[in-house]
């Protein structure tokens, strides 16, 4: 990869919380380069440091050590008061719970972000309308979030992330609250954003399906990127787990299923037919 053209480059980033005996090292010496138009999927178990890493990539949190550069500008060294502008114009955020403003319509949710960036009211509304129509929400412009389906809310959130033409989209579990069909639609959209518009996309997710659209899949564990091993999927919660590190195992019709927690195994035991299609087991 040509480092000079990289959208994002992080070098030896470490994040520590607390001090002394209670100190926690959430991210340890992580390095990563993301090219324009590239989709990077970061996976890992809960508590592995994914959210902390995503927060640092989005200039919401400063690393304890190391540097984060966006288009060659070391944003981790910038003063706090310069970061809101960077976040507003250079990043697009997509959240697991959509996080739309409940009092504003779909159109206003998107236009507000453009207005925050200094775009005039009329222009901001025109641009927001254009993006929402492109995303198939032309008939939902004046609907409040409570009147939208999960998929529609996430498309509004994507429109909001795109309205200021960012070069980097950061998505936190973008398909977690969506059913399979809508989740697939959102994945297709994210791929189009990367490949047709040349924006880099970093996704943090447990959703194995996103692997299909990712250019690179990284496994974060104990705050460090590790090699992806042969993995199984917990059929109940969908989490990717190493067979050796599974919290529980269950044999069903000649197949071994692996679980991230005993609770998932118990649930599977009660209704195996409901879950056996969702996971990957080893015969």
Interface contacts to other proteins, rule CB under 8 A:
51, 54-55, 58, 60-61, 84-89, 91, 93, 95, 97, 99, 101-104, 108, 112-113, 116-117, 160, 172
Shortest Cβ 39–other proteins spacing (Å): 19
The DSSP-derived string for 190-221 is: HHHHHHHH--EEEEE-S-GGGGGT-SEEEEEE
Shortest Cβ 156–other proteins spacing (Å): 13
Shortest Cβ 110–other proteins spacing (Å): 11
* CA atoms of 78 and 183, how far apart (whole Å): 36
Nearer residue to other proteins within complex by CB, 210 or 233: 210
Nearer residue to other proteins within complex by CB, 32 or 114: 114
Count of alpha carbons within 13 angstroms of residue 207, beta-carbon side? 23
Question: How is residue 191 written in tokens?
Answer: 């791929």
Nearer residue to other proteins within complex by CB, 45 or 281: 45
**Cβ(213)–Cβ(183) under 8 Å?**
no
**Cβ(66)–Cβ(32) under 8 Å?**
no
Nearer residue to other proteins within complex by CB, 120 or 188: 120
Shortest Cβ 42–other proteins spacing (Å): 13
Nearer residue to other proteins within complex by CB, 204 or 232: 204
User: Residue ranges of the alpha helices (H) in 92-237?
Assistant: 106-116, 121-134, 150-162, 180-197
Shortest Cβ 61–other proteins spacing (Å): 5
Residue 139's Cβ-count burial label (10 Å; 0-12, 13-18, 19+) is exposed
């Amino acid at each position: 990869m040509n480092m000079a053209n990289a959208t994002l480059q992080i070098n030896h980033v470490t994040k520590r919380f607390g001090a002394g005996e209670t100190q926690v090292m959430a991210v340890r010496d992580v390095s990563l380069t993301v090219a324009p138009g590239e989709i990077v999927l970061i996976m890992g178990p809960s508590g592995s440091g994914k959210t902390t890493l995503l927060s640092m990539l989005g200039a919401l949190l400063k690393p304890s050590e190391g540097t984060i550069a966006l288009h060659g500008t070391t944003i981790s060294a910038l003063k706090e008061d310069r970061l809101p502008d960077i976040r507003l114009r250079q990043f697009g955020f997509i959240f697991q719970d959509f996080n739309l403003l409940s009092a504003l319509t779909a159109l206003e949710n998107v236009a507000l972000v453009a207005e925050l960036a200094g775009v005039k009211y009329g222009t901001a509304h025109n641009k927001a309308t254009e993006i929402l129509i492109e995303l198939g929400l032309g008939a939902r412009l004046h609907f409040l979030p409570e009147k939208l389906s999960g998929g529609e809310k996430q498309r509004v959130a994507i429109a909001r992330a795109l309205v200021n033409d960012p070069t980097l989209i950061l998505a936190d579990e973008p398909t977690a609250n969506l059913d399979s069909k809508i989740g697939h639609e959102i994945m297709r959209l994210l791929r189009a954003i990367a490949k047709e518009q040349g924006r880099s996309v970093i996704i943090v997710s447990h959703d194995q399906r996103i692997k299909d659209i990712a250019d690179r899949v990284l496994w974060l564990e104990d705050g460090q990127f590790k090699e992806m091993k042969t993995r199984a999927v917990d059929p109940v919660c969908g989490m990717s787990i190493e067979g050796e590190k599974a919290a529980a195992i269950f044999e069903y019709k000649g197949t071994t299923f692996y679980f991230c927690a005993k609770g998932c195994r118990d649930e599977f035991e009660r209704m195996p037919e409901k879950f056996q299609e969702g996971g990957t087991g080893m015969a």
